[in-house]
Amino acid sequence: MNWFYFSSPSTFYGLAGRLAPWFFALAAVTAVWGLYLGLLVAPTDAQQGEVYRVIFIHVPTAWMSMFLYFVMACYCGLTLVFNTRLSAMMARAIAPTGALFTAVALWTGSFWGKPTWGTYWVWDARLTSELVLLFLYFGFIALSNAFEDPRRGDRAAALLAIIGVVNLPIIYFSVQWWNTLHQGSSVSFKGTSMHVTMLTGMLVMSFSAWFYAAGAALVRVRSIILERERRAQWVRELKEG
């Protein structure tokens, strides 16, 4: 298989258009399944009561906020090393969805924190570094749109994203490195402190978030390709719709 075949925007435009509906469909199915497990089937938490059910959206969105930044930074690396156009467009397409998941993770976290910790917000390492992640996404979006020449925006924002990668391990390990109010991870490879239904629900919701993010990024990259290649012959020949 020729991997470079799909690295041209014109061929990727078609591929993304065919894949996106499948990702959205999978996201919807897994979301229904995950919400059914999380909201209707899973038993209550002995310590926190029903409010723990926020975990089924808080943890998947928080994971995705970091994972999407990592994927975006990988595309940015490709942009800087190989100067490929499509990778820069993919990074631009991922950033808004990543920022959205980061904002939702912070929001749900604070509505979970209020009844369990007694406060909507604490300035501990985990929350602060996640907030910094949100501003890195905003900075990436702002910088990529700040130049007349979109190729310059691509490359400048790519370098910024790569500098910002140092924040990811800080977020991930912050609950181990510092004594914070935020609890440590309850999922590990050695075993888990959670009920099986809870764990399944959380993982299913994480897959749903992943499918949704993939679908949204593919739909957005199609618009970006159209905007950037407006004057290209193949765009002119596209059928309406």
> Between 43 and 191, whose beta carbon lies closer to other proteins?
43
**How far is residue 157 CA from its own chain's centroid?**
17
Q: For residues 217 and 94, is the Cβ–Cβ distance under 8 A?
A: yes
> Between 6 and 107, whose beta carbon lies closer to other proteins?
107
Q: Other C-beta atoms within 10 Å of 61: how many? A: 22
Q: Which residues bind other proteins (CB under 8 A)?
A: 39-44, 49-51, 53-54, 57-58, 61, 80, 96-97, 100, 103-104, 107-108, 111-112, 114-115, 128, 132, 135-136, 138-139, 142-143, 146-147, 152, 155-156, 159-160, 162-164, 170, 212, 216, 219-220, 222-223, 226-227, 230-231, 235-236, 238, 240-241
Least distance (Å) from other proteins to the CB of residue 113? Answer: 9
149 torsion bin: left (phi>0), alpha (psi -120 to 50), beta (else):
beta
Least distance (Å) from other proteins to the CB of residue 101? Answer: 9
Hunting for tokens 């140092």 — which residue is that?
166
Q: Give one DSSP letter per residue of 118-130, joined into a string.
A: S-S----HHHHHH
Least distance (Å) from other proteins to the CB of residue 185? Answer: 19
Q: How far apart are CA 158 and CA 223, in angstroms?
A: 20
Least distance (Å) from other proteins to the CB of residue 137? Answer: 10
